[in-house]
A and B are shown apart, each in its own frame.
Chain A
């Protein structure tokens, strides 16, 4: 009768798993923090929080866009390259290399607007490619993954652009009420996305398209438009992230801006508990996922784990975190 006993495992178990699932990411994060408090030299300082916040911002911003894309059942490999394009474009503008500037401030204003719009446009192009020709997202965005960085490098001839423009660099270095401005940006974006996903028609449409495209179409949802929009949004997010990166470094290096960002962002989304198969999404989860990944990176560096070993540990933690997330979905 042991078998029958094994089988007779009703409600309680499932609920326990439900909890785990809901708080899986939080648990993982808490464990990491505890570990650091125990082992990492002077971890419990404001500066530590500061460092981690500023470092995680770009990942989160990109990952939010990625979350929406993934919720429609897609994926966007081009984000890193789009960051590079935006990052390479901005200095060209405010340094007046691209177009003559009546007034420096105009240049700075344009340096915010144009690059983000451009990378947004490229994002939309991804969406167009994917919807117009029914190309698999992975391949459709692979095109710009390859060509995008090339474009950025061509723009600058691969040269490093250095600058000191406080007004512009405010998005990277500035602070409001002592909080890094980029962190505020990040929180605003996370908030917006969460709200949109929960409350708006667009949010529902995203999930429906990701959940069952044919059904969505037959219910009158403009599948194509929804997809193009999420890729557009992903592009905009990438553009913004690109600007932040160059602002912090007071230098734009088309070769390196956002290199490998797509993987970080996707990992954050997955660790955060969004299904890569689409049809479900949690932006807050993504935020947690990004924090986890960031904190792992910090922990490994701060404790002097050599790069090679760090890679292995990272792998283990990603799998573990995602597995925790999966529990209860089973």
Chain B
């Protein structure tokens, strides 16, 4: 991308390299160690499953670039899945739109509380996280809501297009759009400016509040979309799903080299981050498949933590080097 200003290119590039390197190594490791690891079945179901997290992480990426954070994405997705499931009998489109709308509502709520009441994003979205899952449980009457198999709704999650999972297509399109918006629209640059220095952005006359509002709304909507896929892929709206999704998303974004303090970020690297972290679970399952050391769930979380540590340190080292490099 010749036309991207180096300013955002350099760090993002390094971030990319860090995560891409790790990703490549992990894939190589899996390929050498396990049979059928790169088999189309595994790859496709991996993509199908992680497309949900990809969408959530995309929204998170934008929020974080403004210097904010959105803890509500997980339960927003759950809410979206419930709404979508309830609407699925009326067809794929109503389900889709319904789920996304539910997400948008939570997202807008976040945006409004953050901008109008001036409450910090962390605490705001912490609250809406509770609210969203509460609402989901109420709507679903405390249990999973079966989707209708009469309509084409389930294709949104289970269907293929050109031999490629539809959810993955959706995520792909979303990321292309995201990258385009970030690098080639005024809004995208404003997002980064707000994250780079809110007061400055304000004094520069940028519509800071509107930018934030839109970003949170977008994050909510994407979470809602993830919820729609959740419902469609597993045939049920699940009010108690989405636990810990926000942390998964944050981790992917950071692993992708985006600064949590805002102002710097890369959409593509975020996607790589999602795949990287998603792959860990898959690898661990295959490891158990070898049947030598059948890892307990506990060791798995220890290993996952250690791995995150590794990647984050690698990431930090790269960015640090970038800082020192004579600008």
Contacts and interface: CB of A to CB of B under 8 A. Distances in A.
Do A and B interact directly, with beta carbons closer than 8 Å?
Answer: yes
A149 interface: yes
Given A135-B316, A139-B312, A266-B126, A309 B134 contact: yes
Given A319-B124, A330-B118, A154 B130 contact: no
Given A158-B296, A308-B138, A138 B260 contact: yes
Nearest to A270: B123
B250 A139 contact: yes
Interface stretch (A14-22, A100-108, A172-180, A310-318): A310-318
Interface residues of A, number: 46
Interface in B80-106: none
Interface string B297-324: 1111111111011001100110010000
B301 A319 contact: no
A75 B134 CA distance: 26
A99 B302 CA distance: 24
B251 A147 contact: no
A146 B120 contact: no
A315 B298 contact: no
A270 B320 contact: no
Given A136-B254, A311-B134, A323-B117, A150 B123 contact: no
A153 interface: yes
A319 B304 CA distance: 34
A319 B254 contact: no
B261 interface: yes
A147 B306 contact: yes
Chain B CB within 10 Å, residue with most, of A138, A150, A318: A150
A210 interface: no
B137 interface: yes
A60 interface: no
A148 B117 contact: no
B254 A139 contact: yes
Chain A CB within 10 Å, residue with most, of B126, B133, B260, B317: B126
Given A150-B302, A154-B298, A154-B299, A136 B260 contact: yes
B308 A311 contact: no
Interface string B122-145: 111011111101110110001000
Given A157-B296, A266-B122, A276-B122, A311 B137 contact: yes
Contacts of A158: 296-298
B122 A134 contact: no
B119 interface: yes
A315 B127 contact: yes
B177 to A, nearest CB: 27
B305 A147 contact: yes
Contacts of A144: 305
B247 interface: yes
A158 B298 CA distance: 8
Contacts of B152: none
A266 B123 contact: yes
A143 B305 contact: yes
A157 B297 CA distance: 10
A50 interface: no
Nearest to B140: A308
Contacts of A310: 134
A151 B120 contact: no
A224 B303 CA distance: 28
Contacts of A75: 122
A146 B134 contact: no
B113 interface: yes
B300 to A, nearest CB: 7
A297 B121 CA distance: 23
A266 B247 CA distance: 15
A135 B300 contact: no
B18 to A, nearest CB: 13
B202 to A, nearest CB: 15
B308 A315 contact: no
Contacts of B317: 133
Contacts of A154: 296, 298-299, 302
Contacts of A136: 254, 259-261
A277 interface: yes
Contact of B134 (A148, A151, A263, A308): A308
Interface string B162-203: 000000000000000000000000000000000000000000
Nearest to A260: B243
Nearest to B124: A319
Given A139-B250, A150-B301, A158-B298, A276 B131 contact: no
Given A308-B138, A308-B142, 16 more contacts: A133-B316, A135-B316, A136-B254, A136-B261, A139-B254, A145-B247, A145-B305, A147-B305, A150-B304, A151-B302, A270-B123, A308-B134, A308-B135, A310-B134, A319-B113, A326-B119
20 contacts: A133-B317, A136-B259, A138-B254, A138-B260, A139-B251, A142-B250, A145-B305, A148-B305, A150-B299, A153-B297, A266-B126, A270-B122, A276-B122, A308-B142, A312-B135, A315-B129, A315-B134, A316-B131, A318-B130, A319-B117
Please list the 8 inter-chain residue pairs (A to B) with the smallest Cβ-Cβ separation, ordered nearest first. A147-B305, A311-B134, A150-B301, A308-B137, A153-B298, A315-B131, A150-B302, A312-B134
